[in-house]
């Protein structure tokens, strides 16, 4: 199988604090991971592409200094929301591409619900 986990599954934080979300591929290596954000009743929007050992590629309109991405190993990518504000409250989902299987072998994590008070 191919399992992707996210931690935490939900988090509540105060405005101005930073929150780190982890995305792990449990039984495979992933050189590429994606981070998406989903607002209520909206589609998933790609935020950034995370490649192991290199800087992430951010989509237009996504602040790279606010959403810090680190892909330090083949099984772990982290998204840190810095100085979080209520408008950052959203559902964050990661996906991981399984090895050399090609981008169609993309497996999604269960998501992290972030609420900023």
Partner 1 sequence: KQEVTQIPAALSVPEGENLVLNCSFTDSAIYNLQWFRQDPGKGLTSLLLIQSSQREQTSGRLNASLDKSSGRSTLYIAASQPGDSATYLCAVRDSGYALNFGKGTSLLVTP
Name the site residues for partner 1 (rule: CB under 8 A). 4, 6, 32, 34, 36, 41-46, 49, 91, 93, 95, 97, 103-104, 106, 108-111, 113
- ∠ at Cα 14 (18, 93), nearest 5°? 55
Please check whether residue 20 is in contact with residue 79, taking contact to mean a CB–CB distance below 8 angstroms.
Answer: yes
Q: Which residues contact 1 (CB under 8 A, 6 or more apart)?
A: 27
Q: 28 vs 36, which CB is nearer to partner 1? A: 36
Find the shortest distance in angstroms from Cβ 58 to partner 1: 12
Find the shortest distance in angstroms from Cβ 41 to partner 1: 7
Per DSSP, 55 falls in state -
Q: 44 vs 76, which CB is nearer to partner 1? A: 44
């Amino acid at each position: 199988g191919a399992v992707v986990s996210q931690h935490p599954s939900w988090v509540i934080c105060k405005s101005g604090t930073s929150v780190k979300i982890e995305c792990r591929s449990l039984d495979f290596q992933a050189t590429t991971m994606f981070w998406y954000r989903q607002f209520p009743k909206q589609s998933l929007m790609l935020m950034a592409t995370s490649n192991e050992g290199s800087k992430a590629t951010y989509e237009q309109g996504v602040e790279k200094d606010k959403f810090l991405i680190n892909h330090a190993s083949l099984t772990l990518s982290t998204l840190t929301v810095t100085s979080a504000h209520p408008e950052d409250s959203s559902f964050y989902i990661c996906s991981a591409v399984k090895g050399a299987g090609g981008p169609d072998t993309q497996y999604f994590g269960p998501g992290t619900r972030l609420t900023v008070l």
